[in-house]
Structure 1
Amino acid sequence: MTQPLPFGSPGGKAPRLEEVMRDVARGNKDAFATVYDAVVDTVFGIAVKIVRDRAQSEEVTQEVMIDLWRQASRYRREQGSVRTWVATIAHRRAVDRVRSAQASADRDHATAVRDQQRPYDEVAEQVQTRLESEQVRRCLRGLSELQRQSVTLAFYQGLTYREVAEALRTPLATIKTRMRDGLIRLRDCMGVTT
């Protein structure tokens, strides 16, 4: 069981924080309350200066005070005052909070940018396809009957030259010539450059 602190020592002097920290390290809640009251305003002030958000600063202050309770045994009097040690913890926690918030904002921004960037505009793609289809139909109307039939069977039905020749009952050499001439005229009509 922990012993109460001699807060009212003879002569009215309160114990120094460095002495009280030994009792905090032993789990004395009254000692922790004393240290808490002595440093909480400093911790909050550091947090507000770095984080610049009151709610976030309050969270940082709470985290620092929990760290103080849990890590009290790590405090070394010869390395500095309790206030300096706590201020260092507060500064690190506040900087970590700012970095974490910035990283989160960066991730959110990257996600938003990625979601806005589409690989293509679907409406524009549909309009372009429709316009190209209309242009192909118009250009096909400019071919001779044999050319149009040959190209249509080959490209829209997937027939080979031989199958087109059989379907149209036309010699294979004629189909090849008509297809070549028809494709040249289609290319010129559509404005395709090679």
Structure 2
Amino acid sequence: MAGTRYGEEPQPPFASDSTSVEALLVKVANGDKNAFTGVYEALARPVMGLACRILQDPAQAEEVTQDVMVEVWRTAGRYRPDRGTAKAWVLTMTHRRAVDRVRHVQSAAQRERRVGALIAGREHDEVAEAVESADERKRTHRCLDDLAHLYRVPLLLAYYHGMTYLEVAQSMSAPAGTVKSRMRTGLRLLRDCLEARS
């Protein structure tokens, strides 16, 4: 890089103290993609930190961070410097989205409880097909209860409520690939638990 001596760290394009996040946000509102890079570099970490504190789940916090930064790009023109700093504006946005995600997860937990009532006596997939006796059903219930929420919910929705991967992903506001991965892990943990309790 021109102007960078050997062994020196290259400076980010918006490291200058004279270029505030507020000034960059005004440029973003005018469609300046380079200015958005500066906004992202300045605010993505605090956004992720706040989302993590609210959600207690790094994967969901990362999704919220990406959603917020996309919203910043799309709505930069709505920022009003007289009402507060750019950071405060973006963190308010983050708080709103993270709280919405928490409410969605709580709603999913309520659906999970309703779906749990459908488990007994229904046969689905290889795990459920192995459940034949009342004792085995009880073991399955216990093992499902022991699974972490992020593994239990997709299994209940897909295998006992008949939802497709896509429907589960939409109901949990998670990418389909993430849901498939969680379901594979959940099935493995469920099998391990059933074997340990047999």
Per the normalisation by structure 1, the TM-score is 0.53
Q: Which amino acid aligns with 2:43?
A: V
Change (3 A) 1:116 1:7: closer
**Number of residue pairs matched?**
110
- CA drift at 1:113: 1.9
The equivalent residue for 1:83 is 87
2:85 and 2:14 map into 1 onto residues whose CA distance is 19
2:17 and 2:73 map into 1 onto residues whose CA distance is 24
The equivalent residue for 2:65 is 61
Residue 14 of structure 2 contacts residue 38 of structure 2 at CA under 8 Å; is this kept in 1? no
- CA drift at 1:116: 4.2
1:109 and 1:14 map into 2 onto residues whose CA distance is 54
- CA drift at 1:96: 0.6
| Equivalent in 51, 56, 59 of residue 55 of structure 2 | 51
Change (3 A) 1:53 1:69: same
Structure 1 regions of 5+ residues with no counterpart? 1-5, 118-194
Give identity over the alignment, percent: 44
The equivalent residue for 1:23 is 27
Q: Which amino acid aligns with 1:44?
A: M
| Equivalent in 45, 50, 73 of residue 41 of structure 1 | 45
1:116 and 1:99 map into 2 onto residues whose CA distance is 28
Kindly report which structure 2 residues correspond to 1:157-176, keeping only aligned pairs within 5 A, or say none.
none
Per the normalisation by structure 2, the TM-score is 0.52
Structure 2 regions of 5+ residues with no counterpart? 1-12, 122-198
